[in-house]
């Protein structure tokens, strides 16, 4: 294309000008965050490591925004090598952002999240995490925008109403209002009343209802993010169970109180540890609470299908979100403990589309079990499976009849190039030539006899 000479000259001229004319300008182009980074870093590389005086510099640095300043010590516990690494990663995030990758504003990333990022070993993992945070930041941004819009709308309506009401009310209008000075003869239902009704139902379930175990012992196998979404799903299990007509008596077993999972769950349900709260948390294993022969572990990796829902069995759901590690951990656990296993009859009743996989969230599994217990009808219960995962979810609702295992569309196809039409069991009518059948049949047989 071009000769080296041409290019280099060309560039050379440009760089020379860049170098001579614009040296101080370079640093300004980066965010303030980065220009703040410079001072302590210089020290680190010039063999003279001094922490404290540079920190003082920060506040004096021109344009330094003290709000976005990061507390390195809080993240690294004062570990200098970690601090260097953190700064490099922060700069990496900045460069990624400048390259147009999905990276949130550095002010959005919390100290906890920086700690998490420091633990990630590869750049790809960091990129993915940044992307996740970026999406999160955008979502929150959108929520804010919508809130603001709603507020404006509300004020607009309010303003219009007061304007309309400015005129004196006529005697007719006044008479048409059927109330006693806007009072009502009915008692008002407060949220607490409804809450108490739900809790009452739940306590009845604790006394007489069927048990359901959620095994929370997998927190060590999950990443922080997985733990967080797992905690959310546990919260949803509890909530959906409480709202159901016929709730389960839910037991969370193998709970490690100081695990990330339970801490996060505690954030979602602050009253979780109160003695009156209708949720059973056990640090024990379910093996110590329930008779072993009543337990059935629900794991998608086993081969046994749950054909009939048994109202006397205690079903166990493995409390695990496996986005990263796809090892069949619940299968391994059930095997080790010698428990019976079963999986939901997902393939029997549903026709799955390709792509999104067959994994369900914990609360979806919970809802399916609640409905199958209440209605005894798998078709109805499996409506909790997201429709997007199913083929043709528009027309047939993705539900198919148990006897129609291939969805009716597919024909039986013979093995590639093999004529097994000769075998006695098959009279599917593909070939009516009896003689031909027999000869090939003999051929397969003759192979054994030789």
Partner 1 sequence: MIRRNICRLLVSNIDTLYCKRHFTNREKLIHSLIENAVDRSKIINSRREWGNVRQTILNHEQNRKHYTMDNIDALILGFCTTRKEYELGFSYLQFLKDENIKPNLATIGKYFKLLYHCNEKYYFIEKKKNPEDEEYILKCYQDLRSDYPILDSLSLENTILGVSMTHEWKKCLDFMEEIKITTIPNNISYSAIISAAFLNNEEELGWQLLEEMFRNGRNPGSVIFLTYLSNIGKMKNTAYGAEKLERLFTFFHENDFKCDKEVADAISSLYKKLDNHSSFTQVSYKGVCNNCHLKLNNYEVGQEEFDDLKKKLFKNVIIGRDLFVKTNPAELRKFQNFINDMDCFDVVLDGLNIAYSAGTKHSPQVLSAMVAAVVSFFVNQKKKVLVLGRIHMNRWPKEHWGYVTNTCSVFLTQNISQDDPYLLYCALHSGKDTIIVTRDLMRGHKFLLKYPKDKILFNRWLSQRQFQLLRINEEGKPIFRIPPSFTSVSQKNDDIWHIPYENETQVDKNDFHKSWLCLKCR
Q: Give yes or no for residue 152 binding partner 1 (CB under 8 A).
A: no
341 SS3 class: strand
Any residues with CB less than 8 A from the CB of 214 and at least 6 apart, and which?
Answer: 234, 237, 250, 251, 252, 253, 316, 317, 319, 362
Measured between alpha carbons, how far is residue 51 from residues 33, 39, 40, 124, 419 in Å? 18, 10, 7, 31, 80
Using the minimum distance from each CB to partner 1, give the nearer residue, 188 or 410.
410
Query: Could you say which residues in the range 412-441 bind partner 1, by CB under 8 A?
Result: 412-420, 423, 425-426, 440
50 lies in the site for partner 1, by CB under 8 A: no
Shortest distance, position 433 Cβ to partner 1, whole Å: 13
> CA-CA distance, 327 to 321, in Å (whole number)?
11
Q: Which of 118, 33, 133 is nearest to 84 (CA)?
A: 118
353 near partner 1, rule: CB under 8 A: no
Going by the DSSP 8-state scheme, the letter that residue 221 receives in this structure is G
Q: How many residues bind partner 1 (CB under 8 A)?
A: 82
Residue among 378, 377, 397 at smallest CA distance from 386:
397
One symbol per residue from 105 to 124: x for binding partner 1 (CB under 8 A), - otherwise; what is it?
A: -----------------xx-
Segment near partner 1 (CB under 8 A), from 8-16, 196-204, 245-253, 313-321?
Answer: 8-16
Report in angstroms how near the CB of residue 247 gets to partner 1 at its nearest: 32
Taking the complex as a whole, how short is the minimal distance between the CB of residue 102 and partner 1, in angstroms? 7
For position 136 contacting partner 1 by CB under 8 A, the verdict is no
Per the CB < 8 A criterion, the answer to whether 31 and 67 are in contact is: no
Which of residues 54, 84, 280, 361 is near partner 1 by CB under 8 A? 84
Among 153, 327, 404, 433, binds partner 1 (CB under 8 A): 327
CA angle 359, 363, 366 (to 5 degrees): 100
Q: Is 289 in the site for partner 1 (CB under 8 A)?
A: no
The binder of partner 1 chosen from 153, 332, 358, 407 (CB under 8 A): 332
For residue 132 the two structure tokens come to 């996740």
Question: What is the rounded CA–CA span in Å between residue 397 and residue 385?
Answer: 11
Here's the x/- map for partner 1, 186-225, by CB under 8 A: it reads as ----------------------------------------
Q: Which of 51, 54, 68, 96 binds partner 1 (CB under 8 A)?
A: 96
CA 399 – CA 397 distance, rounded (Å): 5
Question: Using an 8 Å Cβ cutoff, are 368 and 344 in contact?
Answer: yes
The H or E element that residue 284 is part of is: none
Per-residue interface string for the shown chain with partner 1, residues 14-33, x marking contact by CB under 8 A:
xxxxxx--xx-xxxxxx---
**Identity of the residue, 39 or 383, whose beta carbon is nearer to partner 1 in the bound complex:** 39
Interacting residue with partner 1 among 67, 99, 172, 173 (CB under 8 A): 99
Q: Of 37-45, 65-73, 160-168, 190-198, which segment contacts partner 1 by CB under 8 A?
A: 37-45
């Amino acid at each position: 294309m071009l000769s080296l000479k041409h290019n280099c000259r060309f560039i050379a001229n440009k760089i020379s000008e860049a170098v001579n004319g614009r040296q101080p300008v370079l640093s300004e182009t980066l965010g303030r965050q980065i220009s703040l980074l410079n001072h302590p870093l210089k020290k680190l590389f010039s063999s003279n490591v001094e922490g404290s005086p540079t920190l003082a510099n920060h506040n004096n640095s021109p344009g330094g925004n003290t709000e976005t300043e990061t507390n390195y010590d809080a993240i690294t516990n004062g570990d200098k090598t970690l601090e260097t690494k953190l700064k490099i990663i922060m700069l990496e995030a900045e460069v990624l952002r400048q390259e147009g990758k999905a990276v949130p504003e550095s002010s959005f990333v919390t100290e906890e999240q920086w700690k998490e990022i420091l633990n990630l070993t590869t750049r790809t993992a960091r990129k993915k995490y940044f992307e996740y945070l970026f999406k999160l930041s955008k979502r929150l941004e959108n929520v804010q925008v919508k809130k603001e819009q709603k507020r404006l709308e509300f004020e607009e309506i309010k303003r219009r109403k007061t304007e309309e009401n400015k005129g004196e009310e006529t005697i007719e209008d006044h008479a048409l209002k059927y109330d006693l000075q806007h009072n009502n003869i009915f008692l008002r239902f407060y949220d607490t009343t409804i809450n108490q009704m739900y809790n009452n139902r739940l306590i009845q379930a604790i006394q007489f209802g069927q048990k359901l175990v959620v095994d929370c012992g997998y927190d060590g196998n999950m990443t922080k993010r997985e733990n967080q979404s797992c905690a959310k799903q546990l919260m949803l299990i509890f909530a959906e169970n409480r709202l159901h007509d016929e709730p389960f008596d839910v037991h969370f077993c193998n709970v490690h109180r100081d695990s990330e999972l339970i801490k996060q769950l505690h954030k979602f349900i602050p009253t979780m540890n109160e003695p009156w709260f209708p949720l059973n948390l056990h640090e024990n294993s379910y093996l110590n609470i329930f008779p072993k022969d009543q337990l059935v572990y629900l794991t998608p990796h086993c081969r046994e299908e749950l054909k009939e829902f048994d109202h006397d069995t205690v079903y166990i759901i493995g409390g695990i979100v496996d986005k990263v590690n796809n090892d069949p951990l619940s299968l391994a656990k059930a095997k080790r403990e010698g428990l019976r296993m079963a999986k939901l009859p997902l393939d029997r009743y549903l026709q799955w589309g390709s792509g999104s996989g067959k994994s369900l969230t914990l609360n979806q599994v919970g809802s399916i079990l609640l409905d199958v217990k209440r209605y005894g009808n798998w078709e109805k219960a499996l409506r909790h499976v997201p429709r997007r995962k199913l083929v043709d979810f528009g027309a047939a609702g993705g539900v198919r009849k148990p006897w129609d295992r291939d969805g009716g569309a597919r024909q039986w196809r013979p093995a590639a190039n093999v004529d097994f039409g000769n075998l006695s069991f098959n009279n599917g009518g593909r070939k009516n030539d009896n003689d031909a059948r027999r000869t090939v049949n003999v051929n397969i047989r003759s192979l054994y006899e030789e």
